[in-house]
Amino acid sequence: MCATFARADPPGIALVIGNAAYTALPPLPACARSAAGVATALRNLGFEVTERIDAPAATIVEGLNDLARKLDAKHPPAVLYACGYVAGSSERAYLLPVMANIQRPADVPEQGIVAKRLLDAVARGGNTAAVFAFDAIARPGDSDPPGLESLVPTKVTPGLAIVAARSPPPSQPETAFGAALTKILADPVVRSDGLVTNLDDVLFGAEASLEIKRLPSWPGYVAGAPKPVPNAGPAVPRPIALPDENRMTDQNRRDVQAALSRLGLYSGPITGRFDDATRSAINVYQIKMGVPMTGRLTGSQATQLVAGDR
């Protein structure tokens, strides 16, 4: 059965939050750089982007409320990216503004912004493609940012994808999560389901771990949606055509693994994640095709693999 995808029209709206210049905690310059990279990539995709860099809590909340109002009025594609220290209280995660000074447990909910509030601001579009990306940095002394599991609610809008990464204070100029997201958003065609799957793939084994990944039940185009084609008569079956890896959906990746499995080249589970075993199988397939052994499939190679196997 073919999936139905929502279209990215009108252009998207985004809120980017980067908390770096902490006064009572070590600064996080990587959050500011990551936020700038994500904001630039979104603007290049035509998004209307609002940035909140080192903003006080009230200004961040104002940005959240403004985003929610805009999405209620227009229902465009939406992205919310937030990077900063995270603390937990009562099994909930809180984003800490740069002026936060946490001396006792009660300070967390008093000074922090509950992550569920960020999530709610972007979950306004129903079936429209939306992404909530949370770059959660553990405070020094915390083993991990607690409460991230609270971002997996029992019910969310069908078009919303949720990704949350956990990492220690980054040693690189950008966070691993922010750099990966910026790279994926550099593609002119971005789909919500593909974004989640690609992030999971890129971050596998990296400094940051993807703690929360929730695919939308109604995946859609965040950017680069195809224009509708007028109905010219009965549909004519077209040959299978897969994109290259950067544009593959979770189902595309599962189809590749299934094809490799049927050819006897792959014996692992069909997960949609291209792990080491999948890469090895792709290498063997490329050898059989007589093409350079890269471990990464081009669109034509993936198409030949899946179509030729059926």
Fold for the domain defined by 245-309: Muramoyl-pentapeptide Carboxypeptidase; domain 1 (1.10.101)
In this chain, the answer to whether the domains covering 13-223 and 245-309 adopt an identical fold is no
Query: For residue range 75-113, what is the model confidence (pLDDT) as tens digits?
Result: 899 999 999 999 999 889 999 999 999 999 999 999 999
Query: For residue 156, what pLDDT is reported?
Result: 72
Query: For residue range 52-70, what is the model confidence (pLDDT) as tens digits?
Result: 999 999 999 999 999 999 9
C-alpha pair distances (Å), 38 with each of 52, 54, 66, 182: 12, 16, 19, 5
Residue with tokens 């805009």: 70
Name the token pair of 123.
């979950």
Residue burial 289-310, b: 16+ Cβ < 10 Å; e: rest? eeeeeeeebebebbbbbbeeee
Query: Residue range 116-124: average pLDDT?
Result: 91
> What type of residue sits at position 183?
K
Query: For residue 234, what pLDDT is reported?
Result: 56
Query: For residue range 11-32, what is the model confidence (pLDDT) as tens digits?
Result: 899 999 999 999 999 999 999 9
Query: For residue 310, what pLDDT is reported?
Result: 47
Query: For residue 233, what pLDDT is reported?
Result: 54
Query: For residue range 244-299, what is the model confidence (pLDDT) as tens digits?
Result: 888 888 899 999 999 998 888 998 889 998 998 999 999 999 888 888 888 899 99
Contact indicator for 163, 226 with CB cutoff of 8 Å? no
How far is the C-alpha of 105 from the C-alpha of 216, rounded, in Å?
34
Question: What pTM was estimated for this model as a whole?
Answer: 0.77
Query: For residue 235, what pLDDT is reported?
Result: 52
Query: For residue range 179-227, what is the model confidence (pLDDT) as tens digits?
Result: 999 999 999 989 998 899 889 888 877 777 888 888 888 888 999 877 6
Instruction: Please state whether beta strands 130-138 and 209-214 pair in parallel, antiparallel, or not at all (unpaired).
Output: unpaired
DSSP per-residue codes, 78-131:
EEEEEEEEEEEETTEEEEPPTT----STTHHHHHSEEHHHHHHHHTTSTTS-EE
How far is the C-alpha of 215 from the C-alpha of 124, rounded, in Å?
16
The residue among 174 and 203 whose pLDDT is bigger is: 174
Domain 13-223, CATH number (from 3.40.50.1460, 3.30.830.10, 2.40.160.40, 3.40.50.720): 3.40.50.1460
Residue ranges of domains in the chain: 13-223, 245-309
